[in-house]
């Protein structure tokens, strides 16, 4: 190899070496440093957990049912007569206040007959007075005062009491007591031509119209108290110790979403042998309530101690929950007291026990974990 060729090789080798060194430095500068772990990170799965805090809470008992009127009456006629129009129409849905006239029958004939009875009674009293002044002079002033109070168009005052058996027989012989009580009966019967509202409410059914000739015993319609209802539901035997008359309850209409407050008013004594359930009745009030409305809610029964409330999905197989002990996962057995749609009420969780509040896939007993509070 001549001298020129040797120099070319040496120069090329030097250039390759220098280029390699420069390229290595450039690549080294482009490398990213590996990420550092945050201070305190252990590398263990981190779970959300809170210490158990048992307390005394009312046991919620779910129920559902339909509303029925607390007071509901069927209206029947006790006398005959033409059905007349009242101050308010006798129509379904019409509301009345207590004491207002619900229905009215034509009583003119009955009223005139009663006037005639009172007039005949007055005649009998007047015919009796001459003999009474002779037989009982000391009683004449009392009876004369009573005669002056009798008027054919006014209700009779109470009949004076006989001062002796002899006076009683004297009056009976002249048919005075019989006429008096016949008139009082007719007066009472006259009041039945008007039916008054027994309470604030509304007509829910109407069976007659104005101008109808009504017979005794004929059904006129149905009237119920508005705003006050009751709900019939059932509870299990195991819930019986927690419920008593007066227990508070919260209810909700699934259709309107409106909430109501109620209370237990009575508990049935008969057990349904097929369902092993006992009937329970609740009262509730509300202007927007309607008969037949479907409601559901909870009865807040007798408070129980040592209760921990957890979300329903934390209960495993109905008898245990995940807890953390010495950084390890442990199944802790519990006693289920009551289950609702979203929560469970549990016992046998000592105070301070770390309960896992969010279960993730892949957990197993003995697994090492770290935890944080929510």
Helical axes 108-135 vs 140-149, angle rounded to 10°: 160
Would you state the pLDDT for residue 341? 77
159 is in which domain, residue-wise? 109-191
pLDDT at 4 over 70: no
Q: Examine the domain organization and report whether 289 and 312 are in the same domain.
A: no
Residue 30 within a domain: no
Q: Examine the domain organization and report whether 294 and 180 are in the same domain.
A: no
Q: Examine the domain organization and report whether 284 and 352 are in the same domain.
A: no
CA–CA gap between residue 216 and residue 232 (Å, rounded): 34
Q: Where a domain ends, among 256, 279, 304?
A: 304
Would you state the pLDDT for residue 28? 53
Lowest-confidence region among 30-34, 62-66, 227-231, 252-256: 30-34
Number of domains in the chain: 4
Q: Where a domain ends, among 279, 304, 329?
A: 304
Residue 298 within a domain: yes
CATH value at residue 315: 2.40.420.20
pLDDT at 49 over 50: yes
Residue 205 within a domain: yes
Q: Return the DSSP state at 269.
A: S
Tens digit of each residue's pLDDT (9 = 90 or more) over 129-185: 999 999 999 999 999 999 999 999 999 999 999 999 999 999 999 999 999 999 999
Residue 124 within a domain: yes
More confident site: 20 or 228: 228
- In this prediction, residues 288-309 reach a mean pLDDT of 89
Q: Where a domain ends, among 304, 325, 343?
A: 304
Would you state the pLDDT for residue 9? 54
Q: Examine the domain organization and report whether 231 and 299 are in the same domain.
A: yes
Tens digit of each residue's pLDDT (9 = 90 or more) over 71-126: 999 999 999 999 999 889 999 999 999 999 999 999 999 999 999 999 999 999 99
Tens digit of each residue's pLDDT (9 = 90 or more) over 20-48: 556 556 555 554 444 444 433 456 889 99
Q: Examine the domain organization and report whether 315 and 350 are in the same domain.
A: yes
Q: 237 pLDDT band (50/70/90 cuts)?
A: confident
pLDDT at 217 over 90: yes
Would you state the pLDDT for residue 36? 43
Write down the H helix ranges in the chain: 3-30, 108-135, 140-149, 165-173, 176-191
Would you state the pLDDT for residue 21? 52
| Contacts of residue 251, Cβ cutoff 8 Å, sequence gap at least 6 | 231, 259, 260, 261, 262, 282, 284, 295, 296, 297
Would you state the pLDDT for residue 2? 53
Residue 312 within a domain: yes
CATH value at residue 296: 2.40.30.170
């Amino acid at each position: 190899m001549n001298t020129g060729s040797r120099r070319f090789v040496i120069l090329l080798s030097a250039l390759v070496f220098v280029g390699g060194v420069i390229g290595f430095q450039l690549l080294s500068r482009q490398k990213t440093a590996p990420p550092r772990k945050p201070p305190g990170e252990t590398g263990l799965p981190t779970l959300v957990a809170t210490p158990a805090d048992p307390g005394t809470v009312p046991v919620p008992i779910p129920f559902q049912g339909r509303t029925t009127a607390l007071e509901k009456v069927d209206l029947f006629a006790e006398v005959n007569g033409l059905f007349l129009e009242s101050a308010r129409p006798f129509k379904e849905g019409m509301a009345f206040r207590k004491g207002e006239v619900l229905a009215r029958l034509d009583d003119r004939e009955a009223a005139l007959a009663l006037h005639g009875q009172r007039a005949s009674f007055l005649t009998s009293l007047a015919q009796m007075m001459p003999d009474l002044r002779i037989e009982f002079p000391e009683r004449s002033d009392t009876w004369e005062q009573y005669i002056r109070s009798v008027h054919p168009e006014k209700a009779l005052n109470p009949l004076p009491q006989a001062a002796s058996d002899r006076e009683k027989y004297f009056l009976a012989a002249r048919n005075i007591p019989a006429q008096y009580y016949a008139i009082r009966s007719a007066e009472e019967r006259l009041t039945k031509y008007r039916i008054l509202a027994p309470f604030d409410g509304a007509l829910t059914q109407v069976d007659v119209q104005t101008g109808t000739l009504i017979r005794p015993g004929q059904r006129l319609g149905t009237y119920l108290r508005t705003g006050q209802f009751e709900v019939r539901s059932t509870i299990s035997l195991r819930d019986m110790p927690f419920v008593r008359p007066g227990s508070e309850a919260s209810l909700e209409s699934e259709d309107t979403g409106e909430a109501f407050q109620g209370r237990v008013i009575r508990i049935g004594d008969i057990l349904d042998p097929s369902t092993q359930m006992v009937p329970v009745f609740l009262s509730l009030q509300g202007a927007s309530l309607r008969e037949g409305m479907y409601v559901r809610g909870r009865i807040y029964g007798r408070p129980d101690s040592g209760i921990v409330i957890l979300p329903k999905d934390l209960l495993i197989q109905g008898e245990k929950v995940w807890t953390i002990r010495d950084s390890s996962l442990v199944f802790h057995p519990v006693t289920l007291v009551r289950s609702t749609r979203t929560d469970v009420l549990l016992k046998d969780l000592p105070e301070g026990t770390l309960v896992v509040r969010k279960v993730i896939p892949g957990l197993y007993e003995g697994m090492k974990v770290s935890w944080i509070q929510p």
